[in-house]
Amino acid sequence: MAVSRDSKPAPRGLLTQADPGPVQILHEQSGSDILLVIDHAGRAVPASLGRLGLPDAEFERHIAWDIGVLGVGEHLCTLLDATAVVQRYSRLVIDCNRTPRHPTSIAPRSDGTDVPGNRGLDDAARDARRDEIFTPYQDAITALVDARLQAGRPPVLVAVHSFTPVMAGHVRPWHAGVLYNHDPRYGRALRALLEAEGDLVVGDNEPYALSDTDDYTVPVHGERRGLLHVELEIRQDLIATPEGQRDWAKRLARLLPQALSLCRDAGASPSG
């Protein structure tokens, strides 16, 4: 399994030395051009916040994390010799794929569940979550991208997410979704390869569409820096088990480099 480096929280008020650091970097010294980012991998909650007023069962649900993505990412690191930047705190504490102060950055309600610990927060409480969880995670991505660029190795940014099979009573038929916005090059190449597998229903900006207003990681680190990128969504029931995570990692370990080759053959460099 990939070697891991964990950040350590600097005690500032929200996090203590007893809390996990917000960032975990897997396989930092890698040879792959692909850089994995996993915004919703964890479901930790700072001890100072209790459990946000929620029972433990709520942290098993998709509202707390992207089920299955950490296992997929760990396998991909090994199979691709790739680095992954992993967020360890629950998106219920702060969503690290939202601009701070976005309405769903610190959601008071998620998929029908009230989150008491997110209600009535003042600016200081919101800023603490931003400064101690969101910012270190995003800064870690920036530092890795900067280092790759300085070394003449522009990374290809792959954000790995998962989605629930049913939302608001609607069954979602897609096995996976490929999300992109201003720059579709890598996303379209990957979508074509996924469709060519013959056993998948692939969403084109489904079940979500990538946008400048509702997403943060890919727009900031991929689009604005001219890197090839994609946001990949996998249906959670397909990767809820170790076997499913391993199978999807093997599939993606084949297809992600092939998509990059297609982009390069078409004349697209990783730096745009």
Residue 249 lies in a domain: yes
Beta strands in the chain (DSSP E): 4-6, 23-26, 34-38, 83-87, 109-110, 113-114, 156-163, 166-167, 170-171, 176-179, 202-204, 229-235
Local confidence pLDDT in tens for the 272 residues of the chain: 455 667 666 556 899 989 999 999 999 999 999 999 999 999 999 999 999 999 999 999 999 999 999 999 999 999 999 999 999 999 999 999 999 989 999 999 999 999 999 999 999 999 999 999 999 999 999 999 999 999 999 999 999 999 999 998 899 999 999 999 999 999 999 999 999 999 999 999 999 999 999 999 999 999 999 999 999 999 999 999 999 999 999 999 999 999 999 998 887 666 54
Global pTM value: 0.94
Residue 272 lies in a domain: no
What does the alpha-carbon distance between residue 244 and residue 71 come to, in Å, rounded to a whole number?
9
- Position 266 scores a pLDDT of 85
Containing structural domain, residue 18 = 4-265
Residue 270 lies in a domain: no
Residue 271 lies in a domain: no
What does the alpha-carbon distance between residue 2 and residue 85 come to, in Å, rounded to a whole number?
12
Q: What does the pLDDT look like over 143-152, one tens digit per residue? A: 999 999 999 9
Q: Which helix (H) or strand (E) holds 196?
A: helix 185-196
What does the alpha-carbon distance between residue 209 and residue 9 come to, in Å, rounded to a whole number?
33
CATH of residue 48's domain is 3.40.630.40
| Pairing state between β 113-114 and 109-110 | antiparallel
Q: Name beta bridge partners: 89.
A: 44
What residue has token string 């090994």? 78
Decide: 38 and 218 in contact? Cβ < 8 Å: no
Q: What does the pLDDT look like over 16-33, one tens digit per residue? A: 989 999 999 999 999 999
Residue 236 lies in a domain: yes
The three-state secondary structure class of 255 is helix
- Give the rounded distance of the alpha carbon of 151 from its chain centre: 25
Residue 232 lies in a domain: yes
Residue 125 lies in a domain: yes
- Position 1 scores a pLDDT of 46
Residue 256 lies in a domain: yes
In sequence order, what are the residues at sequence separation of 6 or more whose Cβ sits closer than 8 angstroms to the Cβ of residue 85? 23, 24, 25, 26, 35, 36, 37, 38, 137, 140, 141, 144
Number of domains in the chain: 1
